Amino acid sequence: MTLTAPPPGGGMHVADVARTASVGLRTRRMRAALSALGIAIGVAAMVAVLGLSASSQAGLLAEIDKLGTNLLRVSPGQTLTGEDAKLPEEAPAMIRRIGPVENVQSTGSTEASAYRNPYIPSANTNAIAVNAASLGLPGALRTSVSQGTYLNAATAKQPVAVLGATAAKRLGISRVHSGARIWVGGQWFYVTGILKSVRLTPEINSSVLVGWDAARKYLDFDGHPSTVYVRADTDQVTAVQGVLAATANPEKAEEVNVSQPSAALEARAATQSALNGLFLGLGAVALLVGGIGVANTMVISVLERRSEIGLRRALGATKGNILIQFLSEAVLLAAMGGAAGVALGGLATAVYAQIKGWATVVPMLAWGGGLIAAVVIGVLAGLLPALRAARLQPTEALRIA
C-alpha cells in the first residue's frame, strides 16, 4: 500500500480531503440521502419562490411594454364638500386638442344593471357595471374582441352590448351566437361581441359596454364621461399628464384625477408579496430541519467510526486532520443537498413559467444564496461532531472500538 506524503506542517492534500470526506457518504448512502433531502427541500423552496417571483415580474413587465406605458386615465374626483364630481361632457374633445395626444376614448357610468335574464333577483348584480363606450375604445386600450364584433356607428345607437371578459363569464356567456341577448336596464340588449381580457384597465373586464347614443336613449345616461383613456406620445407622457386635469375641467381642475395604469402595475411588480415572505420562511425552516438532520448524521457517524478515528490517529493523523475530515464530510453532504435543491427549484420555476408563458428567471440571489446557505448549514451542523471526533485520543478510540 502506497501512502502519499502529507504536505508540510501535517496538512492534507485537497484530493485526500475530498476522498476521506466522501467515505462516510459512500458507505452509508441511504442515510446520507435522507439527511441531504431536508437541505434539498429547503433550498428548492427558496429558489422556487424567488425564481417564480422574478419570472412573474419579468412576465408582467414584458406585458406592460407590449401594452405601452403611455396610457393615462382621467376620472372625476370629489368636490370640496366631499361629493362625487363630474367630468364635463366636452372633456374628451378638449383633451384631443393637446398636441402630443394620439388617441382619446371614454366610458360613462350608468345606473343600469345587467342580468342573464329578467328572472334573476335584482340584488344579484355579480358586480357587473354597465357603461357607455366610445367606438375607438379597444384601439386605445390595445385590445380586441375574442368573439364577435365591437360596436360600430350603427349598433352604437341600438340596444346592443359588448361584454368584457369577466362580465361574460359571470353572465354565463361563453360564445356569441345569433340572437344572444341579456337583460339590461329593464329591457333586452343583443350581444355582438366579447372583449379579450385587458390588463392595464381591469374595470373594462367586468363591464357591459353599450353605445353612447344607446345609453342616452335606453338607459337614461346623462352624457358625462366617467373615465377618459388617453394615449400620448411616449416621450411626452409626463408633460401631457401635467396638463390633463386643467384641460379636462378648466374651471375645477382640482376635481380631476389623473393616473398612469402602467405605473401601478410596475409598482406591484416591484413589491414582494407577504405570501412570498411566508414561503421563504417555510423554506428556511425546512433548511434548518435539514441542518439538524445533517448534524444527527454526523454525530452517529463519529460514534460508529471511532475505530477508524483511533487507527488514523495512531498512524499519525493530527487532530486538525480529523477535524477537517468530518467537517468536510458535513459540508459535502449539505452541498449535495443544496445542489439538488437548486436543481429542483430551478426546474419547478421553469415548468411553471412555461405554463404561464413567462420568461424563466432564476436570480443569482436564489441559486447562489441557496448554495451558500447549504454550505453554511453544513459547517454549523458538522462543527460540533467534528470537534468531538478530533478530541478522541487514539488509545481511547481503539479501546472503545
Task: Indicate if 302 and 257 belong to the same structural domain.
Answer: no
Given a contact cutoff of 8 angstroms between Cβ atoms, the answer to whether 1 and 254 are in contact is no
The answer to whether residue 175 is domain-embedded is: yes
Q: Are strands 187-195 and 160-163 parallel, antiparallel or unpaired?
A: parallel
Predicted pLDDT at 397:
57
The answer to whether residue 7 is domain-embedded is: no
Task: Indicate if 143 and 259 belong to the same structural domain.
Answer: yes
Report the percentage of the chain scoring pLDDT > 70: 86
Looking at 19-33, 102-116, 337-351, which range is the least confident one?
A: 19-33
d(CA 108, CA 130): 9
Predicted pLDDT at 166:
96
Task: Indicate if 135 and 257 belong to the same structural domain.
Answer: yes
Q: How far is Cα of residue 198 from the mean position of the Cα atoms in its chain? A: 18
pLDDT digits (tens, 9 = 90+) for 160-190: 999 999 999 999 998 998 889 999 999 999 9
d(CA 206, CA 61): 23
The amino acid present at 314, given as its one-letter code, is A
d(CA 38, CA 197): 42
Given a contact cutoff of 8 angstroms between Cβ atoms, the answer to whether 36 and 340 are in contact is yes
The answer to whether residue 5 is domain-embedded is: no
Looking at 4-18, 148-162, 282-296, 310-324, which range is the least confident one?
A: 4-18
Predicted pLDDT at 277:
67
Predicted pLDDT at 231:
92
Apex 315 CA angle, 1 and 305, nearest 5: 95
Query: Is it the case that residue 138 has pLDDT exceeding 70?
Result: yes
Task: Indicate if 176 and 245 belong to the same structural domain.
Answer: yes
Task: Indicate if 136 and 235 belong to the same structural domain.
Answer: yes
pLDDT digits (tens, 9 = 90+) for 273-305: 555 666 677 677 777 877 888 887 788 877 777
Domain that holds residue 333: 12-64+272-400
Query: DSSP state, 315?
Result: T
Among the candidates 270, 288, 319, a domain finishes at: 270
Predicted pLDDT at 9:
42
Task: Indicate if 295 and 200 belong to the same structural domain.
Answer: no
Task: Indicate if 344 and 291 belong to the same structural domain.
Answer: yes
Query: Is it the case that residue 29 has pLDDT exceeding 70?
Result: yes
The answer to whether residue 48 is domain-embedded is: yes
Query: Is it the case that residue 271 has pLDDT exceeding 50?
Result: yes
Task: Indicate if 85 and 21 belong to the same structural domain.
Answer: no
Predicted pLDDT at 267:
63
Share the mean pLDDT of the chain: 84
136 or 390, higher pLDDT: 136
Task: Indicate if 221 and 179 belong to the same structural domain.
Answer: yes
Predicted pLDDT at 260:
83
Give me the sign of the Cα torsion angle 28, 30, 33, 37.
negative
33 or 152, higher pLDDT: 152
Split into its structural domains, the chain has a count of: 2
Secondary structure class of 364 (helix, strand, coil) = helix
Task: Indicate if 330 and 285 belong to the same structural domain.
Answer: yes
Given a contact cutoff of 8 angstroms between Cβ atoms, the answer to whether 205 and 171 are in contact is no
Distances from the Cα of 350 to the Cα of 46, 47, 269, 345, 346, angstroms: 14, 11, 19, 9, 6
Query: Is it the case that residue 1 has pLDDT exceeding 50?
Result: no
Report the percentage of the chain scoring pLDDT > 90: 38
Distances from the Cα of 222 to the Cα of 5, 93, 152, 177, angstroms: 96, 17, 21, 31
Predicted pLDDT at 216:
95
The answer to whether residue 127 is domain-embedded is: yes
Q: How far is Cα of residue 25 from the mean position of the Cα atoms in its chain? A: 38
Distances from the Cα of 42 to the Cα of 157, 236, 277, 360, 364, angstroms: 61, 48, 14, 21, 17
What mean pLDDT do residues 199-212 have? Answer: 93
Of the candidates 208, 178, 191, 177, the residue with the CA atom closest to the CA atom of residue 114:
208
Predicted pLDDT at 309:
74
